[in-house]
Amino acid sequence: MSEVSAPHAADRRELTAAQRNAVAELLRVSPVADELGRRFVRAGHELHLVGGSVRDALLGRLGDDLDFCTDAHPDETLRIIKGWAESIWETGREFGTIGAQRAGLRLEITTFRAESYDQVSRNPVVVYGTSLEEDLKRRDFTVNAMAVSLPEHRFTDPHGGLDDISAKVIRTPSTPRESFGDDPLRMLRAARFAAQLGFAVHPDAHRAMGEMSADLDRITAERIRDEFTKLLCGADPITGLRLLVDTGLAERFLPELTGLKLEIDEHAQHKDVYEHTLTVVENAVSFEEEGCDFILRMAALMHDVGKPATKAVGSDGRVSFHHHEVVGARLTKARMKAMRYPKEITAKVTALVALHLRFYGYGRGEWTDSAVRRYVADAGDLLPRLHKLTRSDCTTRNRRKAAQLAADYDALEDRIARIAAEEDLARVRPDLDGNAIMELLGVPPGPVVGRAWKHLKEQRLEQGPLDRDAAEAELLRWARAEGLIS
């Protein structure tokens, strides 16, 4: 990691442009923010735009979610905004936060905090503070420890956050050990901000992350999951992932990623599986059409995690990883379950990992139309993502081989399109439904109907669509073979 130096004159000129962006951004929201500020002042309280809202304004990327802090306690905040806010929610009340909506903006107003941690518990103990300075000092990073007081627009930056934005550096207001000791999740958040903002982590913070990585074990799986998801969905997830591995943080909650550094990819001898995986993630990001596709990115990250357990060296010295997609799918499911990801998301990522090798061999001309139907049926609604993952997995530097793989996949997609035009590949179902099966066989609902349905689906995959007469004849043939009819 490169050392962080003081801003140069050119950086100062860029910062001036950033400040101009901030003025434009703040003017956009100031009618609501200033109006809210005046209400708090009239009630004898302070109000400050703070944290990520100020940072994002300086970066010219302020959204519609605004964060404020105040010396007013939640009950008083509710009294001040009642009748003014279009809607109010109190889901964060135990942490001193009241939410509101006004003119299309979502506002979160939090009482000054001076929260402390007992160094053992997994959640902060919220203690209300008495000053803006105290509140800013307890924040995670200097770039998030700036405030704009309302309605007078006074700028407060006691920890040099403005300079750190100019230098594009992530630094803690207090010492890194003190800050990370208070909340170890901040180490993961540092990697997340590196991925989102393109900033470098200050060497002191980087060093502390490595020394204190085991402290992450104090944090709940849900909090880790949420930070990791934001990291993987950052503009530059590769930087964030490298930080996790280099500091040992990945070993605490995603050891499969670190384990990839030990394996050599037989398809790309010039790089190990870890480097190959990062390239696949990068490729997957480039295939996204709109916003972050977490399922695709996570599948790209996990697609080869089965290789360490399946590595074998043949008598000819060649390395192989037979069935690593099967092992990888199992490991992916277990890891995502441990991280408390929803079952539906886990199932989709796991399915992509299991299917990512299916394409290889297509170029040898071994696939029948039946194989293509099964490929489409097994992928289901994941087919567009499987296309992207498979293409992303081609990282060879051999241009001829890369071109051949791309041409083969082009041919497969063309073939899928041709068959889809002739058949309803999006919904491969038997040519007879359950009611027709029961009527023809004279059986009630039950296991026999399910077995018959499954058999007809297999025939549909093998032969393509059957007309009604052919489908009925096949059902009766199967029933006789099963001894269900004479």
Pick the residue with more confidence: 123 or 290?
290
At residue 403, the pLDDT reads: 81
Mean pLDDT score, 342-352: 97
Give the pLDDT mean for 230-236: 96
pLDDT band, residue 3 (cuts 50/70/90)? very low
The larger pLDDT score, comparing residue 475 to residue 451, is at 451
The per-residue pLDDT for 233 is: 97
pLDDT digits (tens, 9 = 90+) for 355-394: 998 887 665 666 777 778 878 888 888 999 999 999 999 8
Domain 254-426 has CATH 1.10.3210: yes
Beta strands 169-170; 200-201: pairing state? parallel
pLDDT digits (tens, 9 = 90+) for 305-328: 999 888 877 777 677 777 898 999
Domain boundaries, the chain: 9-167, 254-426, 429-481
Q: How does residue 452 score in pLDDT terms, banded at 50, 70 and 90?
A: confident
Of the pLDDT bands very low, low, confident and very high (cuts 50, 70, 90), residue 85 is very high
Q: Which residues fall within 8 angstroms of residue 412, CB to CB, at 6 or more apart?
A: 359, 362, 367, 372, 375
| Residue 12, pLDDT above cutoff 70 | no
- The rounded distance, in Å, linking the Cα atoms of 197 and 199 is 5
Select the more confidently predicted residue: 263 or 301. 301
Are the CB atoms for 263 and 307 separated by under 8 Å?
yes
> Which has the minimum average pLDDT: 46-50, 208-212, 409-413?
409-413
Query: Residues 127-132: what's their mean pLDDT?
Result: 88
Question: What is the per-residue pLDDT across 393-434, written as a single tens digit (0 to 9) for each?
Answer: 988 777 787 787 788 888 888 888 877 766 554 445 555 677
- Whether residue 97 has pLDDT greater than 60: yes
Structure tokens belonging to residue 178: 């003190």
The DSSP call for residue 271 is S
pLDDT band with cut points at 50, 70 and 90 for residue 132: very high
- Please compute the mean of the pLDDT values over residues 34-45 and round it to a whole number: 96
Report the first-to-last Cα separation within the chain, whole angstroms. 77
Per-chain mean pLDDT for the chain: 85
Section 225-238 average pLDDT: 97
Task: Compute the average pLDDT of residues 468-480.
Answer: 77
How far from chain centre, in Å, is Cα 328? 19
Long-range contacts of 257-260 (CB under 8 A, 24+ apart): 257/301, 257/305, 259/305, 259/308, 260/304, 260/305, 260/307, 260/308
Domain 9-167, CATH: 3.30.460.10
* Residue 245 or 128, more confident: 245
Q: Please give the structure tokens belonging to residue 485.
A: 């009819």
**Is the four-CA dihedral 344, 349, 352, 353 of positive or negative sign?**
negative
208 exposure class (CB count in 10 Å sphere: 0-12, 13-18, 19+): buried
List C-alpha distances in Å: 485 to 115, 210, 430, 441: 75, 70, 20, 8
pLDDT at 27: 65
Q: Which residues contact 329 (CB under 8 A, 6 or more apart)?
A: 306, 350, 351, 353, 354
| Cα 232 to Cα 225: distance, rounded to the nearest angstrom | 10
Burial of 405 (0-12, 13-18, 19+ CB in 10 A): buried
Which 3 state secondary structure label does DSSP give 322? coil
CA distance 51 to 436: 63
| Lowest-confidence segment of 36-40, 78-82, 238-242, 423-427 by average pLDDT | 423-427
